[in-house]
Amino acid sequence: EDQVTQSPEALRLQEGESSSLNCSYTVSGLRGLFWYRQDPGKGPEFLFTLYSAGEEKEKERLKATLTKKESFLHITAPKPEDSATYLCAVQAGYSSASKIIFGSGTRLSIRP
Amino acid sequence: NAGVMQNPRHLVRRRGQEARLRCSPMKGHSHVYWYRQLPEEGLKFMVYLQKENIIDESGMPKERFSAEFPKEGPSILRIQQVVRGDSAAYFCASSPPILTSGRNEQFFGPGTRLTVL
């Protein structure tokens, strides 16, 4: 069964303290791995898509990497406005468009 | 370019009533997905639709729930005879045609928060 596991469930950092969020996955036929950010009371906001092992993408203080079994979201020198829940999701199977399977998310809190 | 639009943003229903949730995809997007998020839980896939077709409804409860995406107008998620356990945030997402865009990211709307009294 396709599965996505995120760790830790919650992470509290001091402003400027870099860290990484983990996303482990087991899927048959990975078509893409996605990272989203979700603020309370809002819909998920798209951040990155990764398609193959070794791929990396960056946006401001965030960098996403992908291996055959997991993805990391590295956050460098975070600011309080980076506080949110970060969701990892995978699209699997052999159809060009199909459902996304989400992990439970990591709640990130950045203290000033 | 307007994003995915959902309405209403908040919906309150009493047990036994019907709930209708609407989703207008981003311009140029032909794929619509519905997800449910229970408090303190992750997003769960419900159904994937293209215009006038249900492609994958494997996450949809067998009873009381239905979805459509007509040729004209928004996609509708319909819940009949709502129960307290249906209280959740319902999110719609859309994606562009893969063959023309080469992209398969899904972009989410702000959600409809359903409360069943």
Tens-digit pLDDT profile for chain A (112 aa)? 788 999 999 999 999 999 999 999 998 888 889 999 999 999 999 999 999 999 999 999 999 999 999 999 999 999 999 999 999 999 886 665 577 899 999 999 999 9
- Average pLDDT on B90-101 reads 80
Confidence bin at B105 (pLDDT 50/70/90)? confident
pLDDT at residue B93 tops 60: yes
Query: Dihedral through CA A22, CA A26, CA A32, CA A35, nearest 10?
Result: -20
At B101, give phi and psi (nearest 5°).
-100, -25
Partners of residue A75 on adjacent β-strands: A19, A62
Residue in A34, A44, A97 closest to B31 by CB: A97
Tell me which residues of chain A have a C-beta less than 8 Å from any C-beta of chain B: 31-32, 34, 36, 42-46, 49, 87, 89, 91, 96-105
DSSP code string of A26-62: E-SSEEEEEEEEE-TTS--EEEEEE-STT-EEEETTE
> Which range, of B63-72, B90-99, B106-115, averages the lowest pLDDT?
B90-99
The per-residue pLDDT for range A3-13, each reduced to its tens digit, is 899 999 999 99
Q: What local confidence, expressed as pLDDT, does residue A14 receive?
A: 97
The alpha-carbon radius of gyration of chain B (Å, integer) is: 14
Q: What does the block give as tokens for A10?
A: 């919650």
**A101 neighbourhood in chain B, CB within 8 Å:** 45
- Average pLDDT on B38-55 reads 90
- Average pLDDT on B40-52 reads 90
Helix (H) or strand (E) holding A84: strand A84-92
pLDDT at residue B98 tops 80: no
